[in-house]
Amino acid sequence: MHFLYRLLENPTIYKLSQILLGPGAERAITRKIISLQELLPVTKLTLDVGCGPSSWLRRVGGHPVGLDISFPYSVAYTTAGETAITGSATELPFADKSFDGIWSIGLLHHLPKNAARMAILEMCRVCKPGGYVAVFDAVLPLSPWRHPLAYLVRKLDRGKFMRTQAELETLLPVLSPWSVTRFTYAANGLEMLLCWNKKTA
């Protein structure tokens, strides 16, 4: 299993795995982001925490600054003509109130509880007043028996901290109310939780 995870450090293999394990995901997630553009625009100064080799936000015309702990992913990101930094989500190398919008898509299930909480607090720290923080992350199916393939994919995920919806919601800091939406994004029943928060001060 460790060898497989090492293979996924290769950006091309990573992208192929996403297509095979989440059929239809690219279109569904892109549509979801497009539907949010009035509330959560990506046209201003935006940060993508855990950007991977290519940000989802680029698919909708955004040019976010990317941050990823994987050096090969950061290199792939910059090779595409964007700005990326290799760094940790728990210690964002940016000043307070630096960005209009902060996104994290598919990161938190790679982090243990305390690190995931710290990452969200860091996202809130670098968000400007009037800006927003948006967290998308995978969640376990409500019923393994109704979606056995989705459950298996989740259990085999290299992210070791796959959570239920309730567990993921406990990571959200109580700053102001978070909007939370659960949605299916792949033909095999994979689901994500979208949590977003407008920063008032």
Contact predicate 136/109, CB 8 Å = no
Tens-level pLDDT at each residue, the chain (201 residues): 454 455 545 555 555 555 555 567 888 999 999 999 999 999 889 999 999 998 999 989 999 999 999 999 999 999 988 999 999 999 999 999 999 999 999 999 999 999 999 999 999 999 999 999 999 999 998 887 787 778 787 877 777 899 999 999 999 997 678 999 999 988 788 999 999 999 877
Domain that holds residue 14: 2-198
- Tell me, what's the pLDDT at 4? 44
Confidence (pLDDT) at 196: 96
Q: What is the pLDDT of residue 36?
A: 93
CATH code for the domain of 32: 3.40.50.150
Q: Quick one: tokens of 27?
A: 């279109």
Sorted by sequence, the CB contacts under 8 Å of residue 18 that are 6+ apart come out as: 25, 26
Residue 77, pLDDT score: 93
Side chain identity, residue 161: F
Q: Can you give 153-190 as a three-state secondary structure string?
A: HHHHCCCCCCECHHHHHCCCCCCCCCEEEEEECCCCCC
Cβ contacts of residue 68 below 8 Å, gap of 6+? 50, 51, 52, 74, 77, 84, 86, 87
Q: Specify the number of domains making up the chain.
A: 1
pLDDT of residue 112: 96
Q: What is the pLDDT of residue 150?
A: 80
* pLDDT for the residue numbered 20: 52
Rounded to the nearest 5 degrees, what angle is found at the Cα of 159, between the Cα atoms of 154 and 164?
55
pTM summary value: 0.85
